[in-house]
Amino acid sequence: MTHFIAAVAVPPSVSVETSTRPRVLPFSLEAIIETEPSAELGEFLSRALARFDENREVERWTAKADIIAEGRRSIDSYRDSYYDEALSLGEAGYRAARPHAREAHFQHVFVEFPKRLEWSDEEVYAHEIEEWDTIREDGARFDTDNPDARWDWWTIGGRWEENFRTHQGETIATALTALRAALSDIESGQSRRPEPVDGRPIEDPDRRLEWWFPRGLVIESGDTFEWIAQGSEGWFGMTTDDMTEADWIRALIAAAESLDENTRLVYIDFHI
């Protein structure tokens, strides 16, 4: 279960009108703000995000060699992120840096994952197909999962509604000003992260962007939509980044500069 923010670029021809209402959470006196899109905006968002729905089935055969390569990439990505950090900090330091992570995560990093670094291709393949029922004689796997999956649930604003309340529907021109300021801060070594209000240790001390800084941007491209991403999101709040924070902001700036300056952004809380 991971929540993260990504923005959807809405063309000037589509209204970004929304309405809000408070809702009291069950078993709590706390009220949250629910944001509902207008019919026009809702239709556009549904169309823009349909390709990335985890529940969308896409039938295809994946060759054995591609399955092994996919597994190797997954191992390499984990090795260069969580495992590398764990080795550099040591178990005590790594646990202290991730006070909110579940015990299952630490068990995987320190016990289970190191074994995968020694796996043969056949062991990688066996792991990758263990939950699949349909395998051809040549080792190809019949897949119905969506290779473009990014979410299984979403809402405008969501848990970051307050942080994005004044930014919903902002123009690309306005967003570019903010992105350039963020890049300047990161390049100069500043941190934009607020201190934890609950007194707990700060998680991932090397991170300098706010927790709610967008991890993705969805833009219309011809007759489809593209999801530009900082990295990938997984279970238990774990994420993997494919670029540095500065490079990610530069990628967002480059993408934003390619759009009409009157394009507006809607910030969405995604769950995967």
- Alpha-carbon 90 to chain mean position: 27
pLDDT for res 208: 92
- Alpha-carbon 25 to chain mean position: 25
* CA separation, residue 149 to residues 32, 73, 187 (Å): 28, 17, 32
Nearest C-alpha neighbor of 41 from the set 69, 62, 12, 78: 12
Per-residue pLDDT tens digits for 28-42? 666 778 899 999 999
**What is the Cα gyration radius of the chain?**
21
Per-residue pLDDT tens digits for 178-236? 999 999 999 999 999 887 766 666 667 788 999 899 999 999 999 999 999 998 887 66
Tell me how far apart the terminal alpha carbons of the chain are, to the nearest angstrom.
6
pLDDT for res 25: 62
Global pTM value: 0.78
pLDDT for res 199: 64
Q: Where are the beta strands (DSSP E) in the chain?
A: 3-10, 18-24, 31-37, 60-62, 141-143, 153-156, 170-171, 216-221, 224-229, 231-233, 239-241, 264-271
Token pair, residue 25, equals 């959470």
